Structure 1
Amino acid sequence: AAGGAALAAVEQQQQQRRGGGGGARVGLCLLCGLPAAGKSSLARALRRRLPQRPGWACALLAYDELIPPEAFSPPGAGPQQPAPSLPGWKRSRRELLQCLEGFLRALLTGAPLPGPAQPGWERFLGCCRREGLLAAAEGDTGAASRPLYILLDDNFYYQSMRYEVYQLARKYSLGFCQVFLECPLECCLQRNRLRSDPVPEQTIQLMARKIEMPDLRKNAWEQHSLVLSSSDCIPEDNEQIMNLLTAALENPERPNEEDTEQKEAARAICATSAVHQADQACRRVISQAMQDAKGKNILPSEMKSLAEELNKLKAEFLEDLRQGKTLKTQYSDPATSAISSFQHEATNVVNKYICK
């Protein structure tokens, strides 16, 4: 059974992590789109399909089941009850991600599962049980080496909502992909009206105005994304979906990858700050040196040459500081080291004019 396959995969991956024998192959797949776009139907179809072919263990986590309905009610703050810092639905989404991370940590490292102290855990735990992630093994011993795919079914209409899940995938070196179902608003509204518990139409209309499609050119983290038209039924063995899931599993996200652009920007800021600090200090040194020289009755024409020579010296020191070519002194800070060296050289230049 699919539940036994999922559990066997969990147990095998825990053993691998404890023993250091290779990384667990786990993938997170987001199913995104407007309400009634067909996400849940596709999710259930994939849930049935993946354990059969290509033989992956699979679990479906639907946000509609995991976020309590009261989370969408207006906050009821009173005189003795201050208004919460976050709307209920935002708080519930955050708690859900915390539960998911607690489960992934236990799955991949053998750490204990979160307990009742974790908000939303009992509801999350119940869903995991129904999906077979925590149920007793059902004899499918051949599933022990199977990858595990966790399907997350939600609107995910903001990129920031999807990025939070991507961060988990990167942190734990998981596969990550997203299937975005694009369906005309009117089609979604018509389907929604046929539901036994329809979503308020103004909610769907608001989401349609705010929804943010995957942007592969802007967001490198969305490289494993697929946008499908869901006006018609999407077959569960859709070749594009299967290729996407496979590619994400075979190319897991890398944890703690440094953002090269941010790192270079930070270095540039630090370097600019050091140069600015040194520039201000060198200006003060030159000003004091010129005052000392004036007190020694140096001729005006010589004073002009002295100023030009000191400013040229300052420019050379600042350029060396920009290039990281500061001389080694007793100071570990490059700016302080450059200022100290400049002060020494400036004194030598002034003395040269005084001794003429």
Structure 2
Amino acid sequence: MTNSVGYPINQMSLGLMVLIGLPGSGKTTLSKTLVNNYTYFKERKLNFIHICYDEYLEFSKDDSTTDWKNQRNTIISEIGNLIISIKSESWNQCPQKFAHHLEKLDCSIKNIVLIIDDNMYFKSMRYSLFQIAKKYNIGFCQVFLKCPVELALLKNPQRIAHSVVPSSIIIKMNDKLEPPDINNKWEKYSLEIEAFCDLNQVCDKLFSTLIDSMQCNEYTINSDPKQRELSFIQCKKNVLHQTDLALRKIISQKIKAILCSTQNEGRRELVLKLNNRKLEILCDIKAGNICLTSDVLEEINKGDDNKYALYEFLTTYF
């Protein structure tokens, strides 16, 4: 059985919608509009759950990068637990921090979209969530709110006090922001909209992107546990090996630049910092704190000699 737009309503469908954009680009405004029973989507039998990272991340001047990453990893893990509780309809197993969201759901609507509201300016941040979607065989799509940095800086002071971000950080994010690329298989279901646009003008495209991602069956996983584990181990070893080689090359190039431009007394310290950074990156990849994008992984698996995507990806971490 389907509704008036051809969407199945007798079975549960679940998807992640990851928002991308600068602080002040309207991500939370869009999320709240969708959650508050926006008529267009309610008529099409969609429930929304808004997961705003700002509500769960604790910031302080003393926080280390490691602590920040650990907090984000905890949220991702609990999103996975939320997905399990929804799919199994075991509401009592829902992570406590998300329980209030389930209380607001329209129980007559079985189709649920988890809106992930964060800046998500690095592909690696989004890829971690794609892996969750793949693991639990649910839909995954991205919505990029394109916003001029000048407008983001103007809107930023209007945010809730604890959510206001220093202007220097917004400018830095803008310089490093990696928009979705639909040529990457995992980013196939991506939509770009103008920040603060009229939702009525983009709701058809948004709905189409959501439904297409939730109905796709591209995340099928090998059913043989032993073969899957062996394949995973072999792939991971190759990825780490190729990453190590690429990092060595990047470090070598940077050391040459240091030798040409730095006084003798400062060279040793800079070289030591580079080598330490290399070890940190490798450890983060092993631990899953840094996730290589699908285009990088595809490049590695193909065995290409010139790993441009890998070098470009790793260079952003220096």
Structure-1-length-normalised TM-score: 0.54
The whole-number CA distance in structure 2 between the counterparts of 1:105 and 1:196 is 32
Larger CA Rg, structure 1 vs 2:
1
- 2:19 match: 31
Asked whether the 8 Å contact 1:61–1:150 carries over to 2, the reply is: yes
- 2:122 match: 158
Are 1:199 and 2:165 matched, yes or no?
Answer: yes
Q: What's the offset of the Cα at 1:207?
A: 0.5
Q: What's the offset of the Cα at 1:51?
A: 5.5
The whole-number CA distance in structure 1 between the counterparts of 2:201 and 2:168 is 30
Give unmatched runs, 5+ long, in structure 2.
1-8, 224-230, 239-318
The whole-number CA distance in structure 2 between the counterparts of 1:62 and 1:250 is 25
- 1:54 match: 44
The structure 2 residue matched to 1:74, chosen from 48, 58, 62, is 62
Asked whether the 8 Å contact 2:190–2:209 carries over to 1, the reply is: yes
Q: How has the CA–CA distance of structure 1 residues 189 and 24 changed in structure 2, closer, same or farther, with 3 Å as cutoff?
A: same
The whole-number CA distance in structure 2 between the counterparts of 1:136 and 1:191 is 29
The whole-number CA distance in structure 1 between the counterparts of 2:107 and 2:22 is 39
Query: Deviations for 1:75-128, whole angstroms, at most 9, x for unmatched residues?
Result: 4xxxxxxxx7x522211100001111112123224679669xxxxx5xxx2343
Q: How has the CA–CA distance of structure 1 residues 250 and 53 changed in structure 2, closer, same or farther, with 3 Å as cutoff?
A: same
The whole-number CA distance in structure 1 between the counterparts of 2:91 and 2:200 is 38
Q: What's the offset of the Cα at 1:256?
A: 2.4
Amino acid paired to 2:214:
L
Please provide the CA RMSD for this pair.
3.2
Amino acid paired to 1:68:
E
Q: What's the offset of the Cα at 1:250?
A: 1.6
Q: What's the offset of the Cα at 1:177?
A: 0.5
Amino acid paired to 1:250:
Q
The structure 2 residue matched to 1:185, chosen from 118, 137, 149, is 149
Amino acid paired to 2:180:
P
Asked whether the 8 Å contact 1:102–1:113 carries over to 2, the reply is: no
Q: How has the CA–CA distance of structure 1 residues 23 and 170 changed in structure 2, closer, same or farther, with 3 Å as cutoff?
A: farther
Are 1:240 and 2:241 matched, yes or no?
Answer: no
Are 1:96 and 2:61 matched, yes or no?
Answer: no
Asked whether the 8 Å contact 1:38–1:230 carries over to 2, the reply is: yes
Q: What's the offset of the Cα at 1:64?
A: 0.9
Number of equivalences = 216
The whole-number CA distance in structure 2 between the counterparts of 1:195 and 1:141 is 32
Percent of pairs identical after alignment?
A: 27
Q: What's the offset of the Cα at 1:199?
A: 1.4
SS of 1:59 mapped into structure 2? strand
Q: What's the offset of the Cα at 1:166?
A: 0.6
The whole-number CA distance in structure 2 between the counterparts of 1:182 and 1:104 is 28
Amino acid paired to 1:153:
D
SS of 2:159 mapped into structure 1? coil
Q: How has the CA–CA distance of structure 1 residues 95 and 114 changed in structure 2, closer, same or farther, with 3 Å as cutoff?
A: farther
The structure 2 residue matched to 1:254, chosen from 209, 219, 233, is 219
